[in-house]
Amino acid sequence: MGKIVLKNICKNFGEVKVLENLDLTIEDGTFTVLVGSSGCGKTTLLRIIAGIGPATSGEIYLNDEEISDVAPGRRNIAMVFQNYAIYPNMTVKGNIEFGLKNNHVPKAERERLISEIAESVGLTELLKRKPSALSGGQRQRVALARAMVKKPEVFLMDEPLSNLDAKLRIQMRSELIELHKRLKTTFVYVTHDQVEAMSMADKIVLMEKGVIQQQGSPEEIYRNPSNVFTAQFIGTPAMNILKLPNGCHMGFRPEKALMSETAPYENCAYRTQGQVLTREMLGSETLYKVMVAHVDGSSQPVMVKMTEETIAEDRSVRIAVPEKDLYFFDREEARIRKEEKPGQYEECLRCLREVRT
C-alpha cells in the first residue's frame, strides 16, 4: 500500500510562491511521473512528500494517515537523489546498511537483506568498494539499493538518470520499469524530460509555474491535451500552434500533417501551401521545416514529420491536416473540445473554411 494524497499544498520561498493550493492524489502501486520545465515546482513537491522540504501549509496523507508532521525517516518513504547523495566515507555495504542500523534491524537480518538487494541490483561484487571507486551507473545502483533495502511504501526519484550518459540512461530506464513491475510499490518520479515521462509513466502529472496543467496516462496527455502548454510540452517536435482570425488557436502535431507537392487533399479541414525551408533526416523519419501561408495572410514556419524523404529543400508543397487531427484552443489557451463546446469548435472550423474560400 502506498497511496499519497496532497491537499491544499502551498510552498513559499520567502516572497516567492512556488506552489499554491495544490491538490494531487497518487494511487497505490502506480508509476507517477511529475514532469515540467525547470523551476515548475516538481522537485519541491517531491521534497514535500519526502519531508525534507516541508510545505508552508497543507496536508499530506499516506494511506489515509496524515504524515505532514512526521519526520522524513519515519514516513516509510525512500528517495533516490539526482546526485545520488551516497555517503562518500562509507563502503557500498555501509551505505545500504546505514538506514537499517538506524532502525535497529538485527545483524543477521541486515546481512540477509543486503545480500538479497545487492544481488537484485548487481552490486554483490562491489559491496566492499568506496563510492569514489564506482562508475556513475554503479553509484546509481547503490542509491537504488539503499532505497530498496528499506522496503518502503513509496519510492521517490528526483531526476535519477540525468547524470548518466545517453546509452546507460536508456538501459536504466528499462531497469526501473522492470523494478516497478517487480516491487509493485508506488513510484513518484521527477523529470524534465518528456520522453522519459512518456516511456516510464502509468500516469503523468504535468506541471508549470507550480500549477498542475494536466494529469493522465501518457496516451491521454499526448492525444487529448487540455491546453496549449500540454500540447506543446509533450511530443517532439512540439505541436504546431497557429493563431486563427477569431483570436483562438489551432494546433496539429508534426507527425499528423500530410504533405506533398501535388496531392490536393480535398477532404482535409486544414489546407495550405508552403515552401520547404530545411530538411533533417533522422533515420526512420524526416523532419521538415516549412514556411506556410497562414490564414491571416502572414507566413509562419511549421514542422512536419514524415516517413518519406522525397521532397527536397526550397520546393513548393501543399500541407493538409484532417479534422480528427486538429486541436482548437480558446483565447486563454484552454482546449475547445467538440463534445464540450460544439459552438466554439464549429466557429474555429468555419474560420479555416473561410480562409480557404
Partner 1 sequence: MTLKSKKEEAGGKKKKGLRSFLSNKLPPYIMVAPAIIFFLLFTVYPIVDMIILSFYEWNVIQPRKWVGLWNYKYLFDIQIDFKIALQNTIVYTVSEVFFLILFALIFSVWLQKDSKVNAVLQRIMFFPHLCAMLAVSVMFSWLMDENGLFNMVLSFFHLPGLRWLNSSSTAMMSVVIVSVWKSIGYQTLILLSALKTIPADIYEAAALDNTGPVRKFFCITIPLLSPQLFFMLITITMSSFKVFDSVRMLTKGGPGKSTVVLVYYIWSYAQSNLKYGVAAAAGVVLLVILLILTFFYFRILDKKVHYQ
Contact 70, 51 (CB under 8 A): yes
Regarding 72 and contact with partner 1 (CB under 8 A), the answer is yes
Identify residues 9-28 at the interface with partner 1 (CB under 8 A). Answer: none
Near partner 1 by CB under 8 A: residue from 98, 211, 271, 285: 98
Q: Which is nearer to partner 1, 87 or 273 (CB)?
A: 87
**What DSSP element (H or E) covers 95?**
helix 92-102
Cα(304)–Cα(258) distance, integer angstroms: 8
CB 156 → partner 1: shortest distance, Å? 9
Regarding 135 and contact with partner 1 (CB under 8 A), the answer is no
CB 290 → partner 1: shortest distance, Å? 46
**What DSSP element (H or E) covers 94?**
helix 92-102
CB 16 → partner 1: shortest distance, Å? 18
Identify residues 99-118 at the interface with partner 1 (CB under 8 A). Answer: 99, 102-103
Q: Which is nearer to partner 1, 1 or 52 (CB)?
A: 52
CB 76 → partner 1: shortest distance, Å? 10
Near partner 1 by CB under 8 A: residue from 73, 122, 301, 342: 73
State how beta strands 186-191 and 31-35 pair: parallel
Sole residue written with cell 499530506: 60
Near partner 1 by CB under 8 A: residue from 57, 83, 273, 299: 83
Regarding 50 and contact with partner 1 (CB under 8 A), the answer is yes
Residues 6+ apart with CB under 8 A from 149: 96, 97, 99, 100, 113, 114, 117
Output the nine-digit C-alpha cell for 229: 502548454
CB 80 → partner 1: shortest distance, Å? 9
User: For residue 47, which of 81, 24, 13 has the smallest C-alpha distance?
Assistant: 81
Regarding 71 and contact with partner 1 (CB under 8 A), the answer is yes
Sign of the torsion formed by the C-alpha atoms of 325, 330, 334 and 338: negative
User: Contact region for partner 1 (CB under 8 A) — 22-30, 65-73, 271-279, 331-339?
Assistant: 65-73
What number of helices (H) and strands (E) belong to the chain? 9, 19
Residue 262: phi, psi to the nearest 5?
-125, -35
Regarding 146 and contact with partner 1 (CB under 8 A), the answer is yes
Which residues of this protein are in contact with partner 1, per CB under 8 A?
A: 50-52, 71-74, 77-79, 81-83, 85-90, 98-99, 102-103, 132, 146, 150
